[in-house]
Amino acid sequence: MKLTRAAALVAAASCVLVVAAPAALAHHPTGDRDDGPLVTGHRGAPGYLPDHTLEGYKLAIEMGADYIEPDLVATKDGHLIARHEPNIGGTTDVAEKFPESRKSTYIVDGAPVTDYFATDFTLEEIRTLRAVQPLPDERPTEFDGQFKIPTFEEVLALAKREGRKRGRPVGVYPETKHPTFHEQHGLPLERRVVAALREAGLNHKRAPVIIQSFEQSNLRFLNRITPVTLAQLVDAAGVNLDGSLIYAGTSLRPYDWTVSGDPALLARTYGYFATNAGLDEIAQYADIVAPWKPYIVPTTGTDTDGDGDADDVTGDGLVDERDRRLGRPTSLIRRAHKRGLDVHTWTFRNEPRRLVSDYFRWAGGDALEAAKNEYKLFYALGIDGLFSDFPDTAVAARDEFFAG
């Protein structure tokens, strides 16, 4: 993008507010906010506490998150627990507590994974585990080994309890992880999710609940068995130097398309969802399209030495987001809104290496302000919701932007 245009978007926050606020309202499927886009604590507040723990979710709520996000996988005995992967070696102390012989090799979305799998452990065994920080090089590890692995029921109860305490709804935004994998292991997630919602009195249209999935057929099925809000996640594997998206590996296309054997689905990538036909299709069964951020604001790399790889523009010996520039925003938000779809995007993180250079330049180099600039750009573009690892920063940026 023309820098000037991006800078103007941020600088003109106060003008945009007048236009953006009513639009945001009109598009909220759950209708429970009147002051801007939804902030979801992505896996809780993992910038501060280990992912997917009641402590992390509670911190996200304290920081002002509207929704908390449990990723859901199934145990051997069919309970839903909050973990980012069905394999739990990287996010728990399972290797300290169980022998190597409990490891398995399974195909997850087409790729073999050898690890301890939740699907091989009973809930009773899972209850003996404690969470660990999956990004120990850049995030706090002092809480490793302290917090339990929560069940979905416990997350729903926490949201209800904390919402009552604060006099505001606290939403829950569960993700069905690897639906095809769970189906193949005889532990399909969908009816289990709906049963837990029903048990908690949340299986109704106005409930502050949004179910998300990277696969499509399980969302179509959920649309038949529950009235709650549904979100189609849209992935990609990376971004080329010119800002175009890369589709490869487990981020090629929804895995249910891959296993379908249907030539029409095998001809598609995740990119199909961003086309007008793809958005029309999503609108048949979901309320929200939730693409990765570069679908909305692409980023471009510099390749002065012509080796095909992005250069280390900052000269710090690393090639990361700080070496990239913002591209021109796409028309995705506008085209989705035209079809009655809300747009949520992910994931916002404070670490400087994850922030594009322009955000720093507008902030005069200040890292926290740079992180806020990313949110403000997406708020200015009319985003309806986002996932953040640092919900306090997301909320602060929203307060500043919409107070303009």
Contact residues for 85 (Cβ-Cβ < 8 A; gap 6+): 73, 91, 108, 115, 177
**46 or 329, CB closer to Ca ion?**
46
142 lies in the binding site for Ca ion (CB under 5 A): no
Contact residues for 56 (Cβ-Cβ < 8 A; gap 6+): 41, 43, 44, 45, 46, 48, 49, 50, 147
307 lies in the binding site for Ca ion (CB under 5 A): yes
Supply the minimum distance, in Å, between the C-beta of residue 278 and Ca ion: 21
Supply the minimum distance, in Å, between the C-beta of residue 8 and Ca ion: 27
Rounded Cα–Cα distance for residues 246 and 203 (Å): 37
Tell me how long the chain is: 404
Residue 27 has which token pair?
């598009």
**105 or 314, CB closer to Ca ion?**
314
**34 or 316, CB closer to Ca ion?**
316
71 lies in the binding site for Ca ion (CB under 5 A): yes
Sign, CA dihedral 346-352-354-360, equals positive
323 lies in the binding site for Ca ion (CB under 5 A): yes
Give the β-pairing of 299-300 and 325-326: antiparallel
User: Which range touches Ca ion (CB under 5 A), out of 14-22, 89-97, 142-150, 308-316?
Assistant: 308-316
Supply the minimum distance, in Å, between the C-beta of residue 162 and Ca ion: 20
Of 100, 137, 142, 305, which lies in the binding site for Ca ion, with binding defined by CB under 5 A? 305
Of 34, 35, 262, 303, which lies in the binding site for Ca ion, with binding defined by CB under 5 A? 303
What character string, x for contact with Ca ion (CB under 5 A) and - otherwise, covers 168-207?
Answer: -------x--------------------------------
242 lies in the binding site for Ca ion (CB under 5 A): no
The residue behind tokens 């195909």 is 107
318 lies in the binding site for Ca ion (CB under 5 A): yes
**303 or 366, CB closer to Ca ion?**
303
Q: Which residue's CB atom is positioned nearest to Ca ion?
A: 314
User: Which range touches Ca ion (CB under 5 A), out of 115-123, 302-310, 347-355, 377-385?
Assistant: 302-310
Supply the minimum distance, in Å, between the C-beta of residue 36 and Ca ion: 22
Q: What is the rounded (10 degree) CA torsion for 15, 26, 45, 123?
A: -170
311 lies in the binding site for Ca ion (CB under 5 A): yes
Long-range CB contacts for residues 349-353, cutoff 8 Å, separation at least 24: 349/47, 349/388, 349/389, 349/390, 350/47, 350/389, 350/390, 350/393, 351/138, 352/322, 353/318, 353/320, 353/321, 353/322
**125 or 312, CB closer to Ca ion?**
312
**101 or 304, CB closer to Ca ion?**
304
314 lies in the binding site for Ca ion (CB under 5 A): yes
Q: Which of 194, 200, 292 is nearest to 237 (CA)?
A: 292
28 phi and psi angles, rounded to 5 deg = -75, 115
- Residues 110, 258 contacting (CB under 8 angstroms): yes
Q: With CB under 5 A, what is the number of residues at the site for Ca ion?
A: 12
Of 316, 328, 340, 353, which lies in the binding site for Ca ion, with binding defined by CB under 5 A? 316
309 lies in the binding site for Ca ion (CB under 5 A): yes
CA distances from residue 209 to 29, 94, 130, 231, 392 in whole angstroms, order as listed: 10, 31, 27, 11, 21
The residue ranges that bind Ca ion (CB under 5 A) are 71, 175, 303, 305, 307, 309, 311-312, 314, 316, 318, 323
